[in-house]
Amino acid sequence: MDVGFIGLGRMGRGMAASLVRAGHRVRVWNRSPDAVRSIDGAMPVATAAEAFRGDAAITMLADDPALRAVIVEGGLLDSGEPPGMHLSMSTISVALAQELAAIHARAGVPYVAAPVFGRPDVAEKGALNIVAAGDPAVTERAAPLLDAMGAKTWRFGTEPHRANAVKLAGNFMLVSAIEAMGEAAAFAEGHGVPGADLLDLLTSTLFASPVYKGYGASIAASRYEPPGFNLKLGAKDIRLALAAADAAGVPMPFASVLRDNLIDAMAHGDGEKDLAALATVAARRSGRG
Protein backbone atom coordinates (compact mmCIF):
# COMPACT_ATOMS: atom_id res chain seq x y z
CA MET A 1 0.00 0.00 0.00
CA ASP A 2 1.02 3.62 -0.47
CA VAL A 3 1.29 5.02 3.06
CA GLY A 4 2.16 8.36 4.60
CA PHE A 5 3.56 8.29 8.14
CA ILE A 6 3.57 11.41 10.32
CA GLY A 7 5.49 11.42 13.61
CA LEU A 8 8.87 9.71 13.97
CA GLY A 9 9.50 9.74 17.70
CA ARG A 10 10.75 6.73 19.64
CA MET A 11 7.66 4.71 18.71
CA GLY A 12 7.01 6.08 15.24
CA ARG A 13 10.45 5.20 13.90
CA GLY A 14 10.00 1.51 14.65
CA MET A 15 6.45 1.47 13.32
CA ALA A 16 7.41 3.13 10.04
CA ALA A 17 10.35 0.77 9.64
CA SER A 18 8.03 -2.21 10.16
CA LEU A 19 5.81 -0.97 7.32
CA VAL A 20 8.84 -0.68 5.03
CA ARG A 21 9.95 -4.23 5.91
CA ALA A 22 6.47 -5.49 5.03
CA GLY A 23 6.84 -4.07 1.53
CA HIS A 24 4.65 -0.98 1.78
CA ARG A 25 5.65 2.28 0.06
CA VAL A 26 6.14 4.66 2.96
CA ARG A 27 6.45 8.46 2.86
CA VAL A 28 7.59 9.97 6.15
CA TRP A 29 7.33 13.43 7.71
CA ASN A 30 8.31 14.70 11.13
CA ARG A 31 8.22 18.11 12.76
CA SER A 32 11.96 17.70 13.47
CA PRO A 33 13.38 17.08 9.97
CA ASP A 34 16.45 15.09 11.07
CA ALA A 35 14.27 12.13 12.07
CA VAL A 36 13.03 11.46 8.54
CA ARG A 37 16.47 10.34 7.42
CA SER A 38 16.57 7.54 10.01
CA ILE A 39 14.16 5.17 8.21
CA ASP A 40 15.93 3.11 5.56
CA GLY A 41 13.71 2.50 2.54
CA ALA A 42 11.20 5.26 3.36
CA MET A 43 10.77 8.41 1.30
CA PRO A 44 11.20 11.67 3.25
CA VAL A 45 8.77 14.43 2.28
CA ALA A 46 8.98 18.13 3.01
CA THR A 47 5.47 18.77 4.36
CA ALA A 48 2.81 16.99 6.36
CA ALA A 49 0.42 17.46 3.44
CA GLU A 50 2.68 15.32 1.23
CA ALA A 51 2.43 12.51 3.77
CA PHE A 52 -1.32 12.92 4.35
CA ARG A 53 -2.41 11.26 1.11
CA GLY A 54 -2.28 7.91 -0.66
CA ASP A 55 -4.02 4.71 0.39
CA ALA A 56 -3.58 5.57 4.06
CA ALA A 57 -2.06 8.18 6.35
CA ILE A 58 -0.84 7.24 9.81
CA THR A 59 -0.21 9.69 12.63
CA MET A 60 1.92 8.90 15.70
CA LEU A 61 2.34 12.25 17.41
CA ALA A 62 3.18 12.93 21.04
CA ASP A 63 0.00 14.48 22.41
CA ASP A 64 -3.23 16.39 21.77
CA PRO A 65 -1.59 19.73 20.92
CA ALA A 66 0.78 18.12 18.41
CA LEU A 67 -1.98 16.18 16.67
CA ARG A 68 -4.31 19.18 16.62
CA ALA A 69 -1.58 21.45 15.23
CA VAL A 70 -0.72 19.08 12.39
CA ILE A 71 -4.12 17.69 11.40
CA VAL A 72 -6.69 20.33 12.38
CA GLU A 73 -4.85 23.64 12.42
CA GLY A 74 -2.63 22.46 9.57
CA GLY A 75 -5.73 22.06 7.40
CA LEU A 76 -4.80 18.60 6.16
CA LEU A 77 -8.41 17.48 5.93
CA ASP A 78 -9.11 20.35 3.54
CA SER A 79 -6.47 19.24 1.05
CA GLY A 80 -7.46 18.25 -2.46
CA GLU A 81 -5.88 14.80 -2.16
CA PRO A 82 -7.02 13.30 1.16
CA PRO A 83 -5.87 9.78 2.04
CA GLY A 84 -8.03 6.73 1.62
CA MET A 85 -8.11 6.50 5.42
CA HIS A 86 -6.46 8.06 8.45
CA LEU A 87 -5.16 5.80 11.23
CA SER A 88 -4.60 7.84 14.39
CA MET A 89 -2.22 5.80 16.55
CA SER A 90 -1.29 8.43 19.15
CA THR A 91 -2.35 8.30 22.79
CA ILE A 92 -4.77 11.21 22.93
CA SER A 93 -7.74 12.39 24.96
CA VAL A 94 -11.16 10.85 24.51
CA ALA A 95 -12.52 14.34 23.85
CA LEU A 96 -10.10 14.99 20.97
CA ALA A 97 -10.81 11.53 19.55
CA GLN A 98 -14.52 12.35 19.45
CA GLU A 99 -13.80 15.72 17.83
CA LEU A 100 -11.54 14.13 15.21
CA ALA A 101 -14.17 11.53 14.32
CA ALA A 102 -16.69 14.31 13.67
CA ILE A 103 -14.22 16.40 11.65
CA HIS A 104 -13.23 13.44 9.50
CA ALA A 105 -16.86 12.52 8.89
CA ARG A 106 -17.57 16.04 7.63
CA ALA A 107 -14.50 15.91 5.38
CA GLY A 108 -15.41 12.45 4.05
CA VAL A 109 -12.11 10.91 5.20
CA PRO A 110 -12.44 7.46 6.85
CA TYR A 111 -11.01 7.55 10.37
CA VAL A 112 -9.83 4.75 12.64
CA ALA A 113 -8.35 5.20 16.11
CA ALA A 114 -5.60 2.64 16.65
CA PRO A 115 -3.42 3.44 19.70
CA VAL A 116 -0.81 0.89 20.69
CA PHE A 117 0.59 -0.93 23.70
CA GLY A 118 4.32 -1.58 23.67
CA ARG A 119 7.67 0.14 24.08
CA PRO A 120 10.07 1.24 21.31
CA ASP A 121 11.87 -2.12 21.17
CA VAL A 122 8.52 -3.84 20.59
CA ALA A 123 7.64 -1.32 17.88
CA GLU A 124 10.93 -2.08 16.12
CA LYS A 125 10.00 -5.78 16.01
CA GLY A 126 6.51 -5.09 14.64
CA ALA A 127 5.06 -6.80 17.70
CA LEU A 128 2.80 -4.13 19.22
CA ASN A 129 -0.68 -4.78 20.54
CA ILE A 130 -2.97 -2.44 18.64
CA VAL A 131 -6.38 -1.28 19.87
CA ALA A 132 -8.61 -0.34 16.93
CA ALA A 133 -12.07 1.20 16.70
CA GLY A 134 -13.93 2.60 13.72
CA ASP A 135 -15.92 1.51 10.68
CA PRO A 136 -15.31 -2.27 10.42
CA ALA A 137 -14.85 -2.09 6.64
CA VAL A 138 -12.17 0.58 7.01
CA THR A 139 -10.45 -1.32 9.82
CA GLU A 140 -10.42 -4.39 7.58
CA ARG A 141 -8.81 -2.39 4.76
CA ALA A 142 -6.19 -1.24 7.24
CA ALA A 143 -5.42 -4.81 8.36
CA PRO A 144 -2.24 -5.24 6.24
CA LEU A 145 -0.78 -2.12 7.83
CA LEU A 146 -1.84 -3.02 11.36
CA ASP A 147 -0.52 -6.56 10.91
CA ALA A 148 2.86 -5.18 9.80
CA MET A 149 3.17 -3.10 12.97
CA GLY A 150 1.54 -5.36 15.53
CA ALA A 151 1.34 -8.89 16.84
CA LYS A 152 -2.42 -8.56 17.28
CA THR A 153 -5.16 -6.02 16.63
CA TRP A 154 -7.87 -5.84 19.29
CA ARG A 155 -11.12 -4.39 17.96
CA PHE A 156 -13.43 -2.32 20.15
CA GLY A 157 -16.39 -1.36 18.03
CA THR A 158 -17.35 1.34 15.58
CA GLU A 159 -16.85 4.51 17.65
CA PRO A 160 -13.17 5.51 17.38
CA HIS A 161 -12.96 7.13 20.82
CA ARG A 162 -13.52 3.73 22.47
CA ALA A 163 -10.01 2.69 21.43
CA ASN A 164 -8.60 5.78 23.12
CA ALA A 165 -10.54 5.02 26.29
CA VAL A 166 -9.10 1.50 26.30
CA LYS A 167 -5.59 2.85 25.85
CA LEU A 168 -5.95 5.29 28.75
CA ALA A 169 -7.43 2.56 30.96
CA GLY A 170 -4.44 0.35 30.17
CA ASN A 171 -1.93 3.09 30.92
CA PHE A 172 -3.70 3.85 34.20
CA MET A 173 -3.21 0.20 35.20
CA LEU A 174 0.43 0.29 34.09
CA VAL A 175 1.24 3.38 36.18
CA SER A 176 -0.68 1.83 39.09
CA ALA A 177 1.56 -1.24 38.89
CA ILE A 178 4.71 0.88 39.05
CA GLU A 179 3.36 2.83 42.03
CA ALA A 180 2.48 -0.43 43.81
CA MET A 181 5.96 -1.85 43.22
CA GLY A 182 7.60 1.34 44.44
CA GLU A 183 5.57 1.40 47.64
CA ALA A 184 6.05 -2.34 48.25
CA ALA A 185 9.81 -2.06 47.76
CA ALA A 186 10.01 0.93 50.15
CA PHE A 187 7.94 -0.99 52.71
CA ALA A 188 10.23 -4.02 52.47
CA GLU A 189 13.34 -1.83 52.78
CA GLY A 190 11.86 -0.35 55.94
CA HIS A 191 11.98 -3.84 57.47
CA GLY A 192 15.48 -4.68 56.32
CA VAL A 193 14.49 -6.60 53.20
CA PRO A 194 16.26 -5.47 49.99
CA GLY A 195 13.62 -4.11 47.64
CA ALA A 196 15.34 -5.75 44.68
CA ASP A 197 14.97 -9.18 46.33
CA LEU A 198 11.28 -8.59 47.00
CA LEU A 199 10.65 -7.54 43.40
CA ASP A 200 12.61 -10.53 42.06
CA LEU A 201 10.35 -12.86 44.07
CA LEU A 202 7.06 -11.18 43.23
CA THR A 203 7.71 -10.60 39.52
CA SER A 204 8.75 -14.24 39.17
CA THR A 205 5.66 -15.61 40.95
CA LEU A 206 2.49 -13.68 41.78
CA PHE A 207 3.13 -10.92 39.23
CA ALA A 208 5.01 -12.71 36.45
CA SER A 209 3.73 -10.53 33.61
CA PRO A 210 5.61 -8.31 31.15
CA VAL A 211 4.75 -5.00 32.86
CA TYR A 212 5.74 -6.17 36.33
CA LYS A 213 8.83 -8.05 35.16
CA GLY A 214 10.10 -5.26 32.90
CA TYR A 215 9.42 -2.29 35.14
CA GLY A 216 10.25 -4.31 38.25
CA ALA A 217 13.72 -5.05 36.90
CA SER A 218 14.25 -1.33 36.19
CA ILE A 219 13.15 -0.40 39.71
CA ALA A 220 15.32 -3.11 41.30
CA ALA A 221 18.38 -1.86 39.40
CA SER A 222 17.47 1.85 39.73
CA ARG A 223 17.79 1.93 35.93
CA TYR A 224 15.77 4.86 34.64
CA GLU A 225 17.81 6.00 31.65
CA PRO A 226 17.60 5.89 28.72
CA PRO A 227 13.81 6.03 28.87
CA GLY A 228 11.61 3.68 26.89
CA PHE A 229 8.54 5.70 27.82
CA ASN A 230 9.31 8.84 29.74
CA LEU A 231 7.63 9.80 32.96
CA LYS A 232 6.17 13.10 31.77
CA LEU A 233 4.23 11.24 29.05
CA GLY A 234 2.87 8.90 31.70
CA ALA A 235 1.75 11.96 33.66
CA LYS A 236 0.03 13.27 30.53
CA ASP A 237 -1.88 10.02 30.14
CA ILE A 238 -3.08 10.05 33.75
CA ARG A 239 -4.33 13.61 33.30
CA LEU A 240 -6.20 12.50 30.16
CA ALA A 241 -7.72 9.55 32.03
CA LEU A 242 -8.90 11.83 34.83
CA ALA A 243 -10.46 14.27 32.35
CA ALA A 244 -12.28 11.45 30.55
CA ALA A 245 -13.42 9.99 33.88
CA ASP A 246 -14.80 13.38 34.92
CA ALA A 247 -16.69 13.69 31.63
CA ALA A 248 -18.25 10.26 32.15
CA GLY A 249 -19.01 10.75 35.85
CA VAL A 250 -16.64 7.93 36.85
CA PRO A 251 -14.66 8.40 40.10
CA MET A 252 -10.98 7.36 39.83
CA PRO A 253 -9.53 8.23 43.25
CA PHE A 254 -6.28 6.33 42.77
CA ALA A 255 -5.66 8.11 39.48
CA SER A 256 -5.60 11.33 41.49
CA VAL A 257 -2.92 9.85 43.76
CA LEU A 258 -0.90 8.83 40.71
CA ARG A 259 -1.20 12.31 39.22
CA ASP A 260 0.15 13.90 42.40
CA ASN A 261 3.01 11.42 42.70
CA LEU A 262 3.97 11.95 39.05
CA ILE A 263 4.01 15.70 39.68
CA ASP A 264 6.28 15.02 42.68
CA ALA A 265 8.65 13.00 40.46
CA MET A 266 8.74 15.71 37.81
CA ALA A 267 9.35 18.38 40.46
CA HIS A 268 12.45 16.39 41.46
CA GLY A 269 13.76 16.39 37.88
CA ASP A 270 12.60 12.94 36.75
CA GLY A 271 10.23 13.96 33.95
CA GLU A 272 12.58 12.85 31.16
CA LYS A 273 13.51 9.58 32.87
CA ASP A 274 11.73 6.29 32.31
CA LEU A 275 8.28 5.92 33.82
CA ALA A 276 9.76 3.40 36.27
CA ALA A 277 11.32 6.39 38.07
CA LEU A 278 7.91 6.93 39.67
CA ALA A 279 9.08 4.33 42.20
CA THR A 280 11.62 6.83 43.55
CA VAL A 281 8.80 8.90 45.06
CA ALA A 282 7.91 6.22 47.64
CA ALA A 283 11.60 5.59 48.34
CA ARG A 284 12.29 9.29 48.86
CA ARG A 285 9.31 9.76 51.17
CA SER A 286 10.48 6.84 53.30
CA GLY A 287 13.91 8.45 53.67
CA ARG A 288 15.60 5.88 51.45
CA GLY A 289 15.61 7.68 48.10
Burial 220-234 (b: 16+ CB within 10 A, else e): beeebeebbbbbebb
Q: What superfamily does domain 2-158 belong to in CATH?
A: NAD(P)-binding Rossmann-like Domain (3.40.50.720)
pTM for the full predicted model: 0.96
Active-site pick, 125, 152, 167, 213: 167
Please say if 125 is a catalytic residue.
no
Contact 90, 116 (CB under 8 A): no
What is the rounded CA–CA span in Å between residue 197 and residue 186?
Answer: 12
Mind listing the pLDDT tens digit for each residue in 47-68?
Answer: 999 999 999 999 999 999 999 9
Using CA atoms, how far residue 158 sits from 112, 154, 163, 217, 237, in Å, is: 9, 12, 9, 38, 23
Q: Which CATH class is domain 165-285?
A: mainly alpha
- Domain locations in the chain as residue ranges: 2-158, 165-285
Mind listing the pLDDT tens digit for each residue in 184-235?
Answer: 999 999 999 999 999 999 999 999 999 999 999 999 999 999 999 999 999 9
Parallel, antiparallel or unpaired: strands 56-59 and 2-6:
parallel
- CA nearest neighbour of 181 among 245, 251, 44, 276: 276
Mind listing the pLDDT tens digit for each residue in 155-186?
Answer: 999 999 999 999 999 999 999 999 999 999 99
What is the rounded CA–CA span in Å between residue 115 and residue 130?
Answer: 6
